[in-house]
Structure 1
């Protein structure tokens, strides 16, 4: 029942698919099917854009001069690549991406008890504030990544996030065992 509700009510924000397609095409030429597979992989299977949304979008990007069809690869699938105009358009769209991430900050308190059922909200007040701060910090950090993230920075960030996850998992396990 929850899955059905999520499929019907949890839509993808307007412009996000276009942004992701442009981002993927900055990396390499791809077919529509490859784009769908990559988005599905990146979202751990939670979102798989339909052909009915991908192919009209690719056609629109091509009509606007943002993409060209590249020669068919070994797979025989039509691939798309960004034009110089498409790359410039994507740079403009990066601002959309940053605004979108900023808007996600509001989810932090909700995810840790804002609207959950059967939870003692009094005990979660400090947790909600801390979660919001952590999400905001991560979003701000992502905004600075672009080309300046070093391997050392990435390893340090991964270490901090892994340590935090392990501690939260231990607490969750301890609470389950009560």
Structure 2
């Protein structure tokens, strides 16, 4: 239908190009991720940036201009403290008891929104939101990438070549897939 090179920079698919240029990180998302990472082990700002990029499969890399002021705010408010580092110039942080309490509160809020279906989380960030180990989440992210790319392309194709038959086929596949996923979810929940 369209050539990726004509649509966007050569290294990005149309969906990925669109996502990188229009997606906004929800308010509080970075704070939650930083707290989660620091609950695992002490990290520096650059390590936090790299780890978030790794866990999202390169889909999101927070800027130093958002991470470092956040770390300063967390430290000023007693949620994190600096830990001694053997590396010159490297500041690593860990959660304080107050920070652990804030993280628990954030987890409860996140759970409330997800359970109420009031908040849509990007499935492409599976390792962060779905709490799946990053190495396992990549397989899921790749399936989501393929799905979104197919849906994006199909949407454009349907705009150009709409037919009732094509719409009927698409709806049948979407409804069947949704039903099967709901059945798996129900089975996993017990």
Scaled by the length of structure 1, the TM-score of the pair is 0.64
- For residues 139 and 13 of structure 1, what CA distance do their matches in structure 2 show? 28
The offset of 1:44, in angstroms, is 0.7
Report the counterpart of residue 117 of structure 1 in structure 2.
156
- For residues 33 and 27 of structure 1, what CA distance do their matches in structure 2 show? 16
Distance 1:72 1:105, change over 3 A: closer
Contact 1:67 1:86 in 2 (8 A): yes
Q: Confirm whether residue 89 of structure 1 aligns to residue 102 of structure 2.
A: yes
Q: Confirm whether residue 30 of structure 1 aligns to residue 46 of structure 2.
A: no
3-state secondary structure, aligned to 2:93: strand
- For residues 93 and 20 of structure 1, what CA distance do their matches in structure 2 show? 10
- For residues 33 and 107 of structure 2, what CA distance do their matches in structure 1 show? 10
Q: Confirm whether residue 104 of structure 1 aligns to residue 82 of structure 2.
A: no
RMSD of the alignment, in Å? 3.4
Distance 1:106 1:71, change over 3 A: closer
Instruction: State how many pairs are aligned.
Output: 141
Higher RCO (C-alpha under 8 Å, 6+ residues apart): 2
5+ long unaligned stretches in structure 2: 1-7, 9-13, 124-143, 159-165
Contact 2:45 2:68 in 1 (8 A): yes
The offset of 1:93, in angstroms, is 0.3
The offset of 1:75, in angstroms, is 6.2
Q: Confirm whether residue 15 of structure 1 aligns to residue 28 of structure 2.
A: yes
Distance 1:140 1:32, change over 3 A: farther
Scaled by the length of structure 2, the TM-score of the pair is 0.61
